[in-house]
Amino acid sequence: MKTATRPADIYMRFLQLADTLHTLPCLPCLDPLEERILVLVAKASKDCLRLSVRDVMAVERLGSPATIHTRLKSMREKGWIVLSDTEDTRRKQVDLSQAALLHFDRLSACLLEAANV
């Protein structure tokens, strides 16, 4: 007979599985602010919204525009995001890289595995 699993147990299992992703050879780690920016870009992408560098820098809860710009540059160098041209050549659109999309695919697999215990 299978014992009842609390929702917190499922979440803890997910965290354990997600931690194993950090041991895989993939993209360099992000700092907490970069992770928050990544989630912002991912949510916008899912909602089919276009975010420019200026749009991201305008999000006050992330910090000063200079700090955000530095983090965007770092995330681009690490391979998490790509900047693409828009119709206005002075503006760049922020998108997830293919490697970042693969990372989210792996996190989703961890979530499904944790829920199927």
Which pLDDT band, with edges at 50, 70 and 90, does 2 fall under? low
Question: 27-69: per-residue pLDDT in tens?
Answer: 888 999 999 999 999 999 999 999 999 999 999 999 999 999 9
Task: Specify the pTM.
Answer: 0.84
- Rounded CA separation 51/4 (Å): 43
Cα distances (angstroms) measured from residue 34 to each of 2, 6, 88: 40, 31, 26
Closest CA to 40 of 57, 17, 18: 57
Which pair of structure tokens corresponds to residue 25?
Answer: 């050879």
Residue/partner pairs of 21-24 with CB below 8 Å, 24 or more apart: 21/103, 21/106, 21/107, 21/110
* 105 pLDDT above the threshold of 60: yes
